[in-house]
Structure 1
Amino acid sequence: AIVLDLIMPGMPGIEVLRALHDKSYSGGIIIMTGSQNEELLREAWSLGPQEILIKPVDLERLLTAIQLVLVCREC
């Protein structure tokens, strides 16, 4: 499972997400972001993450998302 931020120095998280999608990455992906950019968020959803969490992230929600990704890889 990967926990990924969309806004990062160097290679933006959306680029990482595109690369993972292009390589048919089969693991779970959870995105955490402070971005409110609706176009960026729509694109991120289209690339298949299991969850997008908006910062500040509730730790219980993050833990639940991680558990779901690890237990249910098809969800």
Structure 2
Amino acid sequence: MASQQLINGYKKRMQKANFVICSSCFWCATCFDAGKEFPACPACKGSPVDSLPISENEFYKVEIAGNRNIELSFGRSER
């Protein structure tokens, strides 16, 4: 019973996930609180961060190459 509650809680959180990114320093994270706002970037204290909703069957990948190359890719899982 307790494990089913944990699974249901996880699924509920995943339905409300957002990808957040700072346009100044490119700090990024997954935020499981869809209502959370970032008035300033936690890393550089600069501009507000942008937020993109992520569905339960979507994912993102961040690849960093060298000092200034960042590649973001978004996709859907094959479930």
- TM-score, with normalisation over the residues of structure 1? 0.30
Per chain length, whose mean CA-contact separation is higher, i.e. which structure has more relative contact order (CA < 8 Å, sep 6+)?
1
For normalisation by structure 2, the TM-score amounts to 0.29
Larger Rg computed on CA atoms: 2
Higher helix share: 1
